[in-house]
């Protein structure tokens, strides 16, 4: 009877040690990802087409990006996004949702990752009118980053 009690205690201790070991193992394997889409500050000219820079900082591979952007002025009717050298056969599309809000999609039909980990991803043309404000609000939302299609 006493040996059965000792055996149960040993099993309990072994189970606890295994759980602690698994916890330490998975905690050491976890890393912090940083995948951020940003519109940095840029200059605007009056009555000109300017290009809104969109930067991507990514620690994980990213093959496609989708987001909504609201601009203070409209994109010209013939305006299309211009991809940076970070693209690797990617294509970009811009779809108007009305009220100077657009859905932007960047993707690779070959499932290639965007090059690099930081910097300019694309530029979106914007037709500025008689700019009088010192700064304007640009809103990003509905951001989706993926590593495969």
- pLDDT over threshold 70, residue 28: no
- pLDDT over threshold 80, residue 12: no
Average pLDDT over residues 14-31: 44
Q: 42-65 in b/e burial notation, b at 16+ Cβ within 10 A?
A: eebeeeeebebbbbbebeeebbbb
Give residue-wise pLDDT tens across range 76-124. Answer: 999 999 999 999 999 999 999 999 999 999 999 999 999 999 999 999 9
- pLDDT over threshold 70, residue 60: yes
Q: What is the pLDDT of residue 19?
A: 39
Q: What is the pLDDT of residue 132?
A: 72
Per-residue confidence band for 46, with pLDDT thresholds at 50, 70 and 90: confident
- Helix (H) or strand (E) holding 17, with range, is helix 2-29
User: pTM for the whole thing?
Assistant: 0.78
Share of the chain above pLDDT 70, in %: 79
Q: What is the pLDDT of residue 134?
A: 76
2: which DSSP letter? H
| Max CA pair span of the chain | 92
Residue 60's nearest CA partner among 142, 144, 108, 117 is 117
Q: Cite the beta strand spans of the chain per DSSP E.
A: 35-38, 49-58, 64-70, 82-83, 91-98, 101-107, 118-127, 139-146
């Amino acid at each position: 009877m006493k040996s059965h009690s000792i055996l149960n205690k040993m099993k309990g201790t072994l189970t606890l040690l295994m759980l602690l070991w698994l916890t330490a193992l998975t905690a050491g394997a976890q890393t912090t990802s940083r995948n951020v889409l940003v519109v940095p500050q840029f200059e605007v000219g009056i009555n000109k087409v300017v290009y809104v820079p969109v930067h991507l900082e990514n620690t994980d591979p990213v093959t496609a990006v989708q987001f909504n952007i609201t601009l203070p002025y409209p994109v010209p009717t013939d305006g299309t996004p211009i991809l940076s050298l970070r693209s690797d056969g990617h294509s970009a599309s811009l779809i108007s949702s009305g009220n100077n809000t657009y859905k932007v999609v960047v993707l690779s039909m070959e499932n290639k990752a965007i090059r690099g980990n930081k910097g300019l991803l694309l530029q979106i043309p914007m037709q500025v009118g008689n700019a009088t404000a010192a700064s304007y609000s640009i809103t990003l939302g509905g951001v989706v980053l993926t590593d495969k299609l």
